[in-house]
């Protein structure tokens, strides 16, 4: 399999309903919850790409462009954006989807870097 095919295959999607247990007092998705979901999707993407033990080493800037109202559906999409020697950078976007129409828009974007580690927790080369 080529690296491009591996990147394509490891693209990871997660849907969630924005119910009241994830919102703040503005009735929009709490930013910390969004970040946790993004890190999880990014981790799964990196792991599905490499099939190696991965740890988060850094999170790059996260842009919250639109508030995410309660009562909507969100889709998180993780995709490998950059491959280093032992590290991989994953971009995660969150889209808002209305429940009762096809309307959809991008709300949040961010990047997370993971390092592949061996059994001694030391960085190892990523198989590509
Ligand atoms: C991840 C870890 C093993 C890396 O060890 P390290 O000694 O810093 O590794 P190195 O300096 O050899 O760097 C390894 C790779 O990580 C990258 N890296 C290290 N720090 C980074 C940072 N802050 N941002 C982006 N990339 C970083 C390096 O560029 C290198 O990438 P490359 O091999 O693709 O060129 C170590 O920092 C660690 O264990 N951190 C804790 C991870 C963890 O517990 N995460 C869970 C969140 S609490």
Judged by DSSP in three states, 116 sits in strand
pLDDT the model gives residue 128: 82
Task: Give the pLDDT confidence of 51-71 residue by residue, as tens digits.
Answer: 999 999 999 999 999 999 999
**Is this structure's pTM higher than 0.85?**
yes
Could you tell me whether strands 104-116 and 87-97 are parallel, antiparallel, or unpaired per DSSP bridges? antiparallel
* d(CA 99, ligand 1 centre) in Å: 40
Does 122 have pLDDT greater than 90?
Answer: yes
pLDDT the model gives residue 100: 98
The listed CATH number (3.10.129.10, 3.30.530.20, 1.20.1740.10, 3.30.70.520) that belongs to domain 3-116: 3.10.129.10
How many alpha carbons lie under 13 Å from residue 4 in its C-beta half-sphere? 0
Measured CA to CA, the distance from residue 98 to residue 122 in angstroms comes to: 44
Mean residue pLDDT across the chain:
97
Contacts of 34 (CB under 8 A, 6+ apart): 64, 68, 94, 108
Residue with CA at minimum distance from ligand 1 atom 19 = 57
The ligand 1 site (C-beta within 6 Å) comprises 55-58, 84-87, 113, 115, 117, 121, 123
Question: What's the mean pLDDT in 81-109?
Answer: 98
Does 48 have pLDDT greater than 90?
Answer: yes
pLDDT tier at 127, thresholds 50, 70, 90? confident
φ and ψ at 21, to 5 degrees? -75, -5
Domain residue ranges of the chain, discontinuous segments joined by +: 3-116
């Amino acid at each position: 399999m080529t690296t491009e095919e591996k990147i394509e295959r490891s693209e990871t999607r997660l849907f969630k309903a924005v119910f009241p247990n994830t919102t703040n007092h503005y009735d929009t998705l709490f930013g910390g919850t969004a970040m946790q979901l993004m890190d999880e999707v990014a981790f799964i993407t990196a792991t599905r790409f490499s099939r190696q033990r991965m740890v988060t080493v850094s999170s790059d800037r996260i842009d919250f462009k639109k508030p995410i109202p309660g009562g909507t559906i969100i889709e998180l999409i993780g995709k490998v954006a950059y491959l280093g020697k032992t590290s991989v950078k994953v971009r995660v976007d969150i889209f808002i989807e209305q429940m009762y129409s096809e309307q959809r828009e991008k709300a949040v974007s961010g990047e997370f870097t993971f390092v592949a580690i061996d059994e001694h927790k030391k960085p190892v080369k990523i198989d590509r």
